[in-house]
Amino acid sequence: MSITIRKFSSVCRADSLAVALLCLLPLIAVTAPRLLAYLPGLAGLIGVLGFWVRYKTWPSIPLNLALWLAAFIALAALSSLWAIDPPFALERSGKLLPVFLGGVLVVSFASHAQPSDIRLFRFLFPVGVLAAGVLCVLNLYAGGALYSILHGGEPGDAVNPSFFNRGVVFFTLSLFTAFFALCASGDAKDRAGRRERFSKAIGLALGLVSIAILFKTQSQSAQLALLGGAAAFLLFPYRTKGAWAVLGVLITGAMLVLPFAAHAAFQHLASALYDMAWFSKGYAADRLEIWDYVSRRALEQPLHGFGIEATRAITDFDTQQLYSPTKGVLHPHNFTLQLWIEFGLPGVLLAGAFIGFILRKIGTLPGRAARVALATFIATLCVASTGYGLWQGWWLGSFAALAAFTVIAGKMGAVVEAKAEP
């Protein structure tokens, strides 16, 4: 009997450790964002192993997701045949495999999360997001003193505020799930009023911290993400089944025409945006110039592109350097244009189909969980369209973590719907 109890306790600790690690990710994004490439997968591995110990069987793998990710790896590897730097392209393709595998594992764990896991997540995740937000505030309003200490410097060392952007972005993208966790129905065994008071206190603190961060941050991507996510949450007719298909078509259509639109936008908008303080602070004119010359180069080989991470190898883009000071760029700061220049039309169509797959999955979630998942997805799309390189390890890990968060939110939503039934 004692052996059984100890075994049960160890399994609970494995499940709890996986959930706790997921809940710590917003905090880790602020202090050591590069670890996001690996930690979501580690949480998934711990959770999957715990599931096997408990049930003597492996949890089902999200096969559809695995096949989609395998298709991207295959396309990336295939692009080495025509890449500017074939060995580098092949190497980069191989590095996608462990990150994608970690994403499959963490989504698998989230899909099989038990009621005890969901209750723990509902409590810990908002606290983790709040703690991350407090650290962001300290960095932004104290001149990066905390950042300096954590990275071996002195509290008075000057720190570029853009160094805080990744933590701010991940905090912002986690907000929708955090607020939903606070609003989700509590366990019937909770003492009357205690959970509600806790939720209100954490929710108020999260709101105040969010305002402080978004007012001070240099990450316009985070600000746009919050606006885009909020608009999706409030305005999208999520109960209308056809609306999900329409949204997918609109996004894919925008991806297909973007190389042509980017040139027109640069010609007609760059100078005006350069003179506007908010857009100038966010390097809007620089982005438009980058998008313009990347688009024109991409359209030189629209059927297959120049191979994964092509912009790293191109040092002679056709640019007048009006706003961006160099003739090269590590990545286009836009996931669609990155797909265009790397894989051409096949890559864009594959990504559009994958987005349709994601939207169909979101559309099956219950009630408010669908709203939360869509808000998170649109917010993430906003950042991916204005910020980071698509294949950065921490960014891919962020996708995996956010997917796991929304899967667990879907399970919370199912509990809410069940309790609401008469």
Interval 327-359: pLDDT, tens: 778 889 999 999 999 999 999 999 999 999 999
User: How does the average pLDDT of the chain come out, rounded?
Assistant: 87
Instruction: Give residue for tokens 């996510």.
Output: 229
Query: Tokens 């973007």 label which residue?
Result: 258
**Alpha-carbon distance 421 to 416, whole Å?**
9
Q: Which two tokens stand for residue 37?
A: 């490439």
Q: Give the pLDDT confidence score for residue 155 in this predicted structure.
A: 64
N- to C-terminal Cα separation, the chain: 40
Q: How confident is the model at residue 297 (pLDDT cuts 50, 70, 90)?
A: very high
Which pLDDT band, with edges at 50, 70 and 90, does 197 fall under?
A: confident
CA distance 157 to 44: 38
Predicted local distance difference test score (pLDDT) of residue 372: 95
Q: DSSP states of 186-249 as a string?
A: PPTTSPTTHHHHHHHHHHHHHHHHHHHHHHH-S-HHHHHHHHHHHHHHHH--TT-HHHHHHHHH
Q: Taking residues 233-257, report their average pLDDT.
A: 95
Contact by Cβ (8 Å): 177, 206 = no
Q: Are 345 and 303 in contact (CB under 8 A)?
A: yes
Total-model pTM: 0.91
**Sign of the Cα pseudo-torsion (38, 42, 45, 51, in order):** negative
Evaluate if residue 186 carries a pLDDT over 60. Answer: no
pLDDT, residue 234, reads 95
- Tell me which H or E stretch contains 115: helix 115-141
Query: Would you say residue 161 has pLDDT above 80?
Result: no
Query: How high is the pLDDT of residue 150?
Result: 74
Q: What is the mean pLDDT of residues 139-155?
A: 76
Tracing tokens 């908002």 back to the chain, one arrives at 126
pLDDT at 194 over 80: no
Helix 335-363 vs helix 241-274: angle between axes, to the nearest 10 degrees? 150
| Mean pLDDT, residues 367-385 | 95
Q: In terms of pLDDT, which residue wins out, 20 or 278? A: 20
> With 70 as the cut, is the pLDDT of residue 3 above it?
no
Confidence of residue 276 (pLDDT cuts 50, 70, 90): low
Question: Percentage of the chain with pLDDT > 70?
Answer: 87
4: pLDDT confidence band, cut at 50, 70 and 90? very low
Cα 67 from Cα 65, distance rounded (Å): 5
The answer, yes or no, to whether residue 87 has pLDDT greater than 80, is yes
pLDDT tens for 408-420 read 999 887 766 555 5
Region of poorest pLDDT, from 293-307, 325-339, 346-360, 362-376: 325-339
H helix or E strand, kind and range, residue 169:
helix 165-183
